[in-house]
Structure 1
């Protein structure tokens, strides 16, 4: 089977540095890379058209059966605090449409797989490219305007209805749809309306993320400038508005008075379009000596980071699933955050007492403080849940993806000779 994968979000782990304006790495990028590699190992031939940055090869073979092509029209380096560069995703779509024009003759796919994040441009790609290459498309909602997305600015609120309409259009014309949670699948099917049987739940996978020893993990954090001898409260991911960094800083301001826990150091692991604004807020609050900013780290550092934290905090405005929460819990670390989106399913199934109403910073301080002061109890609870988490978000996710593709192209498994990619 040949699959054309269209996504502005893809992790280029062939580099050790990543310019933040070109959409700093988050869970979505890592998950799409992981899925692509697992499918390639199962014999699915793929061409990925994605965004890249200066210094990356225009096209590379990541592994047999997986080609990654940087597909982006030229654009000026105008910074945006929401998307990194102004027009980045529009430039991606324009280049994709140009690049797909000859594919029908040179490399005709059996299926187009579009990854949508709640923005307009990927939603337009599916219907347009499907016609150009003469193949059906399936659509993955990594974030849904209809079910979970929260507008990030005044302009975003103004265009919210337009993008929601585009999402409805793209969903209705997709051969099949997938979501990260059953909650979103049920909501989308009800609101469209859409036959629920056409919506598959394909959650993110924790892949090979597993804990390392606590001493080894702690030493790694020390090498990044995180001081020893204090509880470490962590933030891991893109430094962007929707991830709630302002509430993370506000939590740090209230920590000593409201957490009931010893004085902590706050580790910010990752990068993003609002990195400098977060740094300025930390300095304005007089907390510069309590914060450690590591910047971008390669994904293979995740187990060390997650294991070393005393608690991971996720004050997100919306979170379709919460891949960072899964990675932290698989490494034995409790997660405190807002009860939004998929966090209600992931964290909520393990330590529901550590989830608080969105925007309630004092409650978030108390929850994170409880994770630190009652660490043994929370860590035992998380450890007991790891087998179930690995079962729900483990290796069988690639099998679910293969079945999703079978259904999308009409090659149903079971009976006869079966199906082979």
Structure 2
């Protein structure tokens, strides 16, 4: 099986879980003998290509006119300048701009420079994102044309690449599988960005199969986007995370450490974490709370921590990645993911691999596959506080979740997810 895959990021250059998921999945597919050509807007040359081929879209010559239906495709795109958390993953640099309000900035006509022979993608989630999404679709058409007969199926990850997948399908006639890692309803609640929503819906309507990372996401796809149930399949994510095997990190404090690690944005529920922390600290003074990440709600959270009078017990680390994440888990006694809407959530699995008990919201996809995690409603800060209190107070309970969690998480491998994905490929190609 040969796959032409479109993504937006790939390790080590990532801004969130999307790149991590692409890495784990493609490794798993390679073990099954699947050949993957992974197209990314901007490749840096240090990506791990032992098990796949990286194609750099910034090096592809795709002049205007390479796709017969480019005008039709273009009409479906609306240029906007992004001043919100509408995209799936933002880097700390983008967050620093404090994009707190959403506003459209429509541009008349087609900017001529986007049709240059080569387009230098930023590969990020900046203000020109929609221009890059449009140009990426044109590059995808050119790549599909150049690789005629060299792939059997097209796989597009998240809305950023859906038009690329459609363009490649139109040129090649090959079946298209789209992967829904996070919906616009996850990112924005009911106050959705209609432009992104329409791209998501168009991509899923054009696809031969839609893969959702959880049953939670599958239900949203069916109910909110009107996609036929028999077209949508659930493929749960896995985890590939090696805990540190050397000397333990020096803590420097005797206090218990409770960690939130993720984007500090509406979807992740950081404000509920703060409220629960305040309740815990009324009962236990020897607990420290760490918020690791960046996001558009950071300033709001900092102000709330100050107002609650718990600043001396609260620490903000900023955005962490790679070994920094591993070290943070090593220092933690409890990990909590209070997401309002989480399509899946890989970080709790990484925490469990690091021998850290986890508390997760019932509104997360990972709750479907985990038994040995404390599950609470994201809005129930009293239950959240009780769970934290219990895990840091009672060693037997803490150790039980570590032991059982380790046993459970070792079965949640990307190899299993890859087998399900391969079944989907076979179903659409036979």
Aligned mates of 2:228, 2:85 — CA distance in 1: 35
Partners of 1:218 and 1:328 in 2: how far apart?
15
Distance 1:313 1:189 in 2: 29
SS at match of 2:317: strand
Q: 1:298 to 1:195 in 2, by over 3 A?
A: closer
Are 2:186 and 2:342, in contact at CA under 8 Å, matched by a contact in 1? no
Name the SS of the counterpart of 2:426 in structure 1: helix
Pairing 1:373–2:416 present = no
**Which residue of the partner structure matches residue 167 of structure 2?**
128
Match of 1:36 among 15, 26, 42: 26
Q: Quick check: 1:194 aligned with 2:233? A: no
Give deviations 1:79-114, integer Å, cap 9, x for gaps.
645544554541331221221232233223422211
Aligned match for 1:91, one of 103, 107, 131? 131
String of CA shifts for 1:189-244, please: whole Å, max 9, x gaps. 57746353x4443221112434647xx4442xx4xxxx421110101122222111
Question: What is the 5 A alignment of 1:253-268?
Answer: 253-257=278-282, 260-268=283-291
CA drift of 1:318 comes to 0.5
Q: Which residue of 2 aligns with 1:292?
A: 315
Which residue of the partner structure matches residue 350 of structure 1? 372
- Residues 97 and 252 of structure 1: CA distance in aligned 2, closer, same or farther (over 3 Å): same
Assess, with a 3 A threshold, how the Cα gap between structure 1 residues 12 and 68 changes in structure 2: closer, same or farther. Answer: farther
Distance 1:71 1:268, change over 3 A: farther
Q: How does 1:123-202 map to 2 (within 5 A)?
A: 123-144=162-183, 149-150=185-186, 152=188, 157=191, 159=193, 167-185=200-218, 188=221, 192=226, 194=228, 196=230, 198-202=231-235
Out of 47, 53, 56, which is 1:66 matched to? 53
| 5+ long unaligned stretches in structure 1 | 16-23, 411-421
Correspondences of 1:271-290 after superposition (within 5 Å) = 271-290=294-313
Displacement after TM superposition at 1:316 (Å):
0.9
RMSD: 3.5
Per the alignment, do residues 255 and 88 of structure 1 end up closer, same or farther by CA in structure 2, a change over 3 Å counting?
A: farther
CA 1:374–1:80: 2 relative to 1, 3 Å = same
3-state SS, counterpart of residue 178 of structure 1: strand
Report SS of the residue matched to 1:316: coil
Alpha carbons of structure 1 residues 393 and 46: separation in structure 2 relative to 1, 3 Å: closer
TM-score of the pair, normalised by structure 1:
0.75
Equivalent residue in structure 2 for 1:319, among 325, 342, 349: 342
Alignment of 1:353-364 (within 5 A): 354-364=374-384
The 1-side partners of 2:394 and 2:41 are apart by 44
Structure-2 residue corresponding to 1:237? 262
**Residue 416 (structure 1) aligns with:** none
2:38 alignment partner, SS class:
strand
Work out the CA distance in 2 between the residues paired with 1:71 and 1:253. Answer: 48
**2-side partners of 1:245 and 1:71: how far apart?**
36
User: Displacement of 1:138 after TM fit?
Assistant: 0.2
Could you say which residue in structure 2 is the equivalent of 1:333?
Answer: 356
Distance 1:190 1:94, change over 3 A: closer
Alpha-carbon distance in structure 2 between the residues aligned to 1:368 and 1:283: 21
List runs of 5+ in structure 2 lacking aligned partners: 61-78, 88-93, 95-124
Aligned length: 373
Q: Structure 1 residues 40 and 69 mapped into 2: Cα distance closer, same or farther (>3 Å)? A: farther
Quick check: 1:337–1:364 contact (8 Å CA) kept in 2? no
Structure 1: how far apart are the matches of 2:38 and 2:303? 37
Output the CA distance in 1 between the equivalents of 2:335 and 2:198: 35
State how far apart, in whole Å, the 2-side matches of 1:272 and 1:395 are.
32
User: How many angstroms apart in 2 are the aligned matches of 1:408 and 1:27?
Assistant: 27
Can you list the C-alpha shifts for 1:48-95, whole angstroms capped at 9, x where unaligned?
A: 33355xxx638967335321526599x999764554455454133122
